[in-house]
C-alpha cells in the first residue's frame, strides 16, 4: 500500500455510468534469497483481477517480451571470457508508475506491455541500442571500443561492463527515472545461482536450491542419484499408456505434469543433460562451437527421430535443445541432415546476436558425427534417395553455399549427445 500511495498509482473517482470495475485481491509471496548473502523476503501485493477484463473492450495488445535464457547464458559466456563486471538491479513496483497510472497496476493485462514500452523508450533515448535478435537485450559501444550490456527480464536487470565506473553511470541514469534497488554483484537470476572464479576465468550456473525444492515437493529427496537421467535404450510408447479405469483413476492423483514441468525449467536454465529425458516424458503427458546429433526412429508410435544440439562458448553451454522431428526420416542420414538444418537455424540467430554484442565473436562451424549427412548438405544435386526430402530442410544448403555456416565431421572428440 505504501508503494501504491507513493507512486500515486490510482485516483479515487465515482464509477462512470455503464462501466464495471475490475476488482482487486491480495497476493502474498515469499521471494527466496541467496544462502549466506540475502535473507528471504516476504511481499504483499494488491493486484487487479485481470482475468475479468474482456479482450477487445478492456485491452487489445498485451504481448511483452522477456530476455531469452540463451541470451542470458551468452552474456555470461562473454563476461567470463573478457572478465567483465556483472551487477544486478531491480525496479521497485515497476507496474505502479505515476505517469502511467491509468492502466498500471499488478495483474492488469496491459501493465507488462506498457512497462516494457516505457523502459524501451528510456533506454533508446540514452544511446542504448535494442538488439534485433532479442528485444530485451540492450547494448552501447563506448568511444574506447568497450561495450555496456543490459538484459531485462520484466523488472530484473543484469548489467555487464569492463569498467565499474561505467556501471555506476548507468545505475545513476536508471535511478533518475525509476526507483531502483541496487542488488550489487549478480549472484542469482531467475532461480539460477551465479558462481564465478575470476582466477581461472570460469563461471558456473547452479540450481541446487531449486532442484532440492523440487525433490522435496515430489518426495524424492531420498532417491538414489544416477549418472544419466535416461539411458538411450529406454523407449516409451503408447502401449505403456493407462489402460484400465483403475489406472486412470490412480494417475489422476499423481502430479505427473507438474513434475515434468519442474524438470523442464531446470533443463532450460542449467541442465542440458535433462533435455532427452524431459522430451521423452513430455510426449507421454496427459567462436562459438556447436554439436548436433540425432537418433533414428526414437519415437516408437509415430516413428519419428529425436534431434539434439548444444552450442558452447569458451566451453560453456549457452543454448541447447532436444525435440522430436516433425517428419519421418527414412534413414539415419536423413535424420542427421534434418538435425543439421535445425541446428543451423539456431546458429544463425546466435551469430546475429553476437555480431551485435561483440564484433570479435563469430559463429562458423557446426560439428556433426555423420559424414554422409555432411556430404548431403554440400551436394546441390537431387538424387533418387533424397528427392523426397521436404524443401525446407534444404535451407541448410543455401546457408553453407554462402559460407555463413561450415559443417564439419566431429573426430577425436567425445560426441555430446542430448
Residues 196-226 pLDDT 10s: 777 877 888 889 989 999 999 999 988 888 8
Contacts of 257 (CB under 8 A, 6+ apart): 285, 286
- Whether 97 has a pLDDT exceeding 90, the answer reads no
Which of 169-183, 356-370, 396-410 is least confident? 356-370
Q: Return left, alpha or beta for 107; rule: phi > 0 is left, psi -120 to 50 is alpha, else beta.
A: left
Tell me the percentage of the chain whose pLDDT exceeds 70. Answer: 74
Q: Locate the domains of the chain by residue range.
A: 2-206, 222-286, 287-418
Mean pLDDT calculated for residue range 124-130: 93
* Residue 94, pLDDT score: 67
Treating both helix axes as pointing N-terminal to C-terminal, what angle do 256-269 and 275-282 enclose, rounded to 10 degrees? 150
CA-wise closest residue to 339 among 382, 285, 298, 281: 298
Q: In this predicted structure, what is the pLDDT of residue 132?
A: 93
Compare 92 and 190 and report the one with higher pLDDT: 190
> 167 in helix, strand or coil?
helix
Percent of the chain having pLDDT more than 90? 14
pLDDT in tens, 79-93: 888 888 999 998 887
pLDDT exceeds 80 at position 237: no
pLDDT surpassing 90 at residue 124: yes
pLDDT, average across residues 347-369: 78
pLDDT value of residue 101? 46
Given a cut of 70, whether residue 66 has pLDDT beyond it is yes
Contact in structure between 128 and 41 (CB atoms under 8 Å): no
- What distances in angstroms separate CA 394 from CA 106, 363, 369, 384, one per listed residue? 47, 20, 19, 15
Q: Most confidently modeled of 151-165, 233-247, 362-376, 397-411?
A: 151-165
CB 395 within 8 A of CB 341: yes
Q: What is the model's pLDDT at position 416?
A: 41
Mean pLDDT of the chain: 78
- pLDDT tens across 272-328, in order? 888 878 877 776 544 455 455 555 545 555 567 777 888 887 777 888 888 777 777
Facing residues of 323 across strands?
307
Q: What are phi and psi of 116, to 5 degrees?
A: -65, -40
255 or 122: which carries more pLDDT confidence? 122
Confidence of residue 160 (pLDDT cuts 50, 70, 90): very high
pLDDT at 292: 57
Cβ neighbourhood burial of 95 (10 Å; 0-12, 13-18, 19+): buried
- How far apart are alpha carbons 149 and 161 in whole angstroms? 6
152 pLDDT tier (thresholds 50, 70, 90): very high
Whole-number pLDDT of residue 171: 93
Which parts of 240-395 are beta strand (E)?
Answer: 288-294, 306-313, 316-324, 363-368
- Position 103 scores a pLDDT of 47
Mean pLDDT over 74-103 rounds to 76
Asked which of 97-106, 238-247, 389-398 is least confident by mean pLDDT, the reply is 97-106
**In a 3-state reduction of DSSP, which class is residue 139?**
strand
pTM to 2 decimal places: 0.75
| pLDDT higher than threshold 90 for residue 125 | yes
CATH number of the domain located at residue range(s) 287-418 in this protein: 3.30.420.10
In this prediction, residue 31 carries a pLDDT of 75
- Taking the C-alpha atoms of residue 319 and residue 267, their distance in angstroms, rounded to an integer, is 11
243 pLDDT higher than 50: yes
Helix (H, G, I), strand (E, B) or coil at 39: coil
- Give pLDDT, residue 140: 92
Amino acid at each position: 500500500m505504501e508503494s501504491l500511495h507513493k507512486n500515486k498509482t490510482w485516483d479515487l473517482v465515482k464509477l462512470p455510468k455503464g462501466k464495471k470495475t475490475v476488482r482487486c485481491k491480495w497476493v502474498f509471496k515469499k521471494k527466496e534469497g541467496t544462502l549466506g548473502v540475502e535473507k528471504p523476503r516476504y511481499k504483499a501485493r494488491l493486484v487487479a483481477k485481470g482475468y475479468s477484463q474482456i479482450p477487445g473492450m478492456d485491452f487489445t495488445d498485451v504481448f511483452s517480451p522477456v530476455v531469452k535464457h540463451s541470451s542470458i547464458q551468452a552474456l555470461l559466456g562473454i563476461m567470463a571470457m573478457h572478465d567483465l563486471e556483472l551487477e544486478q538491479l531491480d525496479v521497485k513496483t515497476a507496474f505502479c508508475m505515476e505517469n502511467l497510472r491509468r492502466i498500471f497496476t499488478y495483474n492488469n493485462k496491459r501493465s507488462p506491455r506498457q512497462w516494457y514500452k516505457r523502459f524501451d523508450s528510456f533506454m533508446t533515448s540514452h544511446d542504448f541500442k535494442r538488439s534485433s535478435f532479442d528485444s530485451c537485450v540492450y547494448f552501447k559501444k563506448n568511444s574506447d571500443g568497450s561495450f555496456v550490456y543490459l538484459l531485462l527480464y520484466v523488472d530484473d536487470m543484469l548489467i555487464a561492463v569492463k569498467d565499474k565506473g561505467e556501471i555506476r553511470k548507468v545505475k545513476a541514469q536508471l535511478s533518475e527515472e525509476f526507483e531502483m534497488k541496487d542488488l550489487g554483484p549478480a549472484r542469482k537470476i531467475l532461480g539460477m545461482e551465479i558462481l564465478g572464479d575470476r582466477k581461472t576465468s570460469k563461471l558456473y550456473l547452479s540450481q541446487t536450491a531449486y532442484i532440492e525444492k523440487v525433490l522435496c515437493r515430489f518426495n524424492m529427496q531420498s532417491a538414489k542419484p544416477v549418472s544419466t537421467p535416461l539411458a538411450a535404450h529406454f523407449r516409451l510408447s503408447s502401449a505403456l499408456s493407462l489402460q484400465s479405469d483403475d489406472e486412470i483413476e490412480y494417475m489422476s492423483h499423481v502430479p505427473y505434469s507438474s513434475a515434468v514441468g519442474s524438470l523442464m525449467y531446470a533443463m532450460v536454465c542449467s541442465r542440458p543433460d535433462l533435455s532427452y529425458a524431459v522430451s521423452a516424458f513430455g510426449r507421454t503427458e496427459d567462436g562459438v562451437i556447436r554439436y548436433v546429433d540425432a537418433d533414428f526412429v526414437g519415437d516408437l508410435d509415430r516413428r519419428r527421430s529425436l534431434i539434439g544440439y548444444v552450442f558452447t562458448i569458451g566451453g560453456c553451454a549457452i543454448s541447447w535443445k532436444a525435440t522430436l522431428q516433425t517428419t519421418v526420416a527414412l534413414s539415419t542420414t536423413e535424420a542427421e541432415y534434418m538435425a543439421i538444418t535445425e541446428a543451423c537455424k539456431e546458429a544463425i540467430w546466435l551469430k546475429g546476436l553476437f555480431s551485435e554484442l561483440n564484433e570479435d565473436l563469430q559463429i562458423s562451424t557446426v560439428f556433426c558425427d555423420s559424414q554422409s549427412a555432411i556430404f548431403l548438405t554440400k551436394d546441390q544435386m537431387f538424387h533418387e534417395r533424397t528427392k523426397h526430402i521436404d524443401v525446407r530442410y534444404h535451407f541448410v544448403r543455401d546457408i553453407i553455399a554462402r559460407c555463413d555456416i561450415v559443417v564439419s565431421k566431429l573426430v577425436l572428440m567425445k560426441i555430446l549427445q542430448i
